[in-house]
């Protein structure tokens, strides 16, 4: 049977023939990815309340979802701006009206640096910054700024031994900071990332060192205030502890990106709110819906959801719900722990191990929770936002 081009849509695309609101399973082409609106609202409010309670600014990392609609939700809730990982991502944020942007990497590409250096010319009220951690980075940034008669605002990134980017000691940080100022860059402060450390105590010790470096380079920062940017989604309480006695003229900018959607695995096991329950709690917002296509032997069921649809790098998905037959507004059940377990993913198949006495049938719908939000959004061009009755409220686009 032929299909006309007009009916072919990207994975996750909303069918315009289905008016909003509609149930997510109405005329659905599974698999689909959804976000719970109530969870998004809760998580945005909890994180904004947390940073305000501790006197911080918030620039959540947009690379998690690359969905401007979600970033705008956080800005509307009070966030200062957004963080991105690349100039390309910064361009997406900019084109969608986001004017406060941290590029959480040293940028060496001349074209990218020129774009960054020209932002204040385009919009004098914007604030776009990037990291530097080397003499080469300083030189490239300064050359690009001069080439476009612009200005580049930078933070010296401080890393740790065995970690990823960033200078490894205070002396090098001071050297890079001095080079940046001498080269005509606008030094704004320092940055770091504690998320790669093994536990909250190690993260706290590391942030102590970054704060000391921030104090050391403070005389090189022009203006009344300096910046310190930190905060992944696992140990941000260590940041709060370490900077509690910070200088009065130091603004701390948190970047926790996975907090908006949370998960049922990697971050659920590490969230600081388990250590500090009075500060709030996050709720997993992401679900991926798929249909059972085969039950070839006892104890095994296959669902048409695979590595191309769901994250697996920091843990396999979990089964949150089963809907026998998959009818709209039909019965649903939550399997007890160990009853239905994901054991493996192929490109387009999910293997479910069924405990004794548990049976699934081809056509059943399985709703999965995920581990690690950052590697599920990039598999979808459009994502449905649903209410607690599984009615689609809106469909948002991702920009990977």
Domains, the chain, with CATH or none: 5-30+285-397 (2.40.37.20), 37-262 (3.20.20.10)
For residue range 340-393, list pLDDT tens digits in order.
999 999 999 999 999 999 999 999 999 999 999 999 999 999 999 999 999 999
Task: Check residue 214 and give its pLDDT.
Answer: 98
Greatest Cα-to-Cα distance within the chain, rounded to the nearest angstrom:
72
pTM (2 d.p.) = 0.94
Mean pLDDT of 84-92: 98
Q: Take residue 200 and report the two structure tokens written for it.
A: 């909250």
Which of 25, 98, 41, 42 minimizes the C-alpha distance to 67? 98
User: Coil, strand or helix: which one is 37?
Assistant: helix
Distance CA 12, CA 309 (A): 10
Whether 9 shows a pLDDT value over 80: the answer reads no
- Whole-Å CA distances, 276 to 37, 180, 228, 254, 322: 24, 39, 23, 17, 33
- Phi and psi (nearest 5°) for 8? -90, 125
Task: Check residue 15 and give its pLDDT.
Answer: 60
Task: Check residue 3 and give its pLDDT.
Answer: 36
| Helix (H) / strand (E) containing 179 | helix 170-182
Task: Check residue 127 and give its pLDDT.
Answer: 98
Pairing type for strands 32-36 and 382-386 reads: parallel
Task: Check residue 14 and give its pLDDT.
Answer: 56
Task: Check residue 16 and give its pLDDT.
Answer: 57
Task: Check residue 266 and give its pLDDT.
Answer: 95
In this structure, what DSSP letter does residue 19 have?
Answer: P
Whether 13 shows a pLDDT value over 90: the answer reads no
Mean pLDDT of 79-107: 98
Task: Check residue 60 and give its pLDDT.
Answer: 98
Give the N- to C-terminal CA distance of the chain in Å, as an integer.
32
For residue range 233-255, list pLDDT tens digits in order.
999 999 999 999 999 999 999 99
Q: Take residue 133 and report the two structure tokens written for it.
A: 């951690």
Q: Kindly tell me the sign of the dihedral angle through the C-alpha atoms of 126, 129, 135, 141.
A: negative
Mean pLDDT of 57-78: 98
pLDDT, averaged across the chain: 95
Say if residue 31 is preceded by a cis peptide, omega within 30 of 0.
yes
For residue range 139-198, list pLDDT tens digits in order.
999 999 999 999 999 999 999 999 999 999 999 999 999 999 999 999 999 999 999 999
Task: Check residue 21 and give its pLDDT.
Answer: 84
Query: pLDDT band for position 10 (50/70/90)?
Result: confident
Whether 308 shows a pLDDT value over 80: the answer reads yes
Strands (E), 21-61: 22-23, 32-36, 57-58
User: Coil, strand or helix: which one is 243?
Assistant: coil
Query: pLDDT band for position 17 (50/70/90)?
Result: low
Task: Check residue 319 and give its pLDDT.
Answer: 98
Task: Name the one residue in this structure whose structure tokens are 């940073």.
Answer: 51
Q: Greater confidence, 165 or 10? A: 165
Task: Check residue 5 and give its pLDDT.
Answer: 38
Whether 1 shows a pLDDT value over 90: the answer reads no
């Amino acid at each position: 049977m032929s299909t006309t081009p007009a009916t072919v849509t990207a994975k996750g695309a909303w069918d315009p023939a289905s008016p909003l609101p509609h149930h997510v399973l109405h005329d659905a082409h599974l698999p689909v990815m959804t976000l719970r609106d109530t969870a998004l609202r809760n998580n945005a409010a909890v994180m904004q309340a947390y940073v305000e309670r501790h006197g911080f600014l918030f620039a959540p990392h947009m690379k998690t979802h690359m969905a401007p609609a979600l970033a705008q939700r956080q800005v509307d809730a009070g966030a200062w701006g957004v963080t991105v990982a690349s100039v390309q991502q910064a361009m997406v944020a900019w084109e969608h009206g986001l004017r406060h942007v941290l590029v959480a990497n040293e940028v060496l590409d001349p074209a990218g640096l020129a774009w960054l250096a020209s932002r204040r010319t385009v919009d004098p009220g914007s604030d776009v910054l990037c990291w530097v951690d080397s003499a080469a980075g300083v030189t490239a940034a300064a050359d690009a700024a001069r080439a476009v008669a612009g200005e580049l605002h930078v933070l010296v990134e401080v890393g740790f031994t065995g970690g990823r980017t960033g200078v490894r000691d205070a002396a090098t940080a001071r050297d890079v900071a001095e080079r940046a100022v001498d080269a005509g860059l606008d030094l704004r402060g320092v940055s770091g990332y504690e998320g790669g450390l093994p536990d909250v105590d190690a993260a706290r010790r590391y942030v102590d060192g970054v704060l000391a470096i921030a104090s050391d380079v403070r005389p090189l920062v022009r203006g009344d205030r300096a910046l310190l940017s930190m905060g992944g989604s696992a140990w941000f309480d260590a940041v709060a502890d370490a900077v509690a006695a910070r200088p009065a003229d130091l603004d701390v900018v948190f970047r926790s990106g996975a907090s908006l959607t949370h998960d049922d695995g990697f971050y659920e096991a590490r969230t600081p709110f388990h250590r500090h329950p009075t500060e709030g709690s996050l709720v997993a917002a992401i679900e991926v819906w798929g249909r059972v296509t085969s039950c070839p032997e006892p104890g095994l069921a296959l669902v048409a959801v695979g590595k191309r649809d769901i994250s697996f790098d920091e843990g396999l998905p979990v089964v949150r719900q089963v809907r026998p037959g998959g009818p709209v507004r039909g019965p649903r059940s939550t399997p007890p722990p160990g009853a239905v377990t994901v054991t493996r993913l192929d490109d387009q198949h999910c293997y479910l191990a069924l405990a004794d006495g548990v049976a699934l049938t081809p056509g059943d719908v399985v709703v999965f929770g995920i581990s690690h939000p950052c590697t599920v959004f990039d598999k979808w061009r459009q994502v449905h936002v649903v209410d607690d009755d599984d009615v689609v409220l809106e469909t948002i686009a991702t920009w990977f």
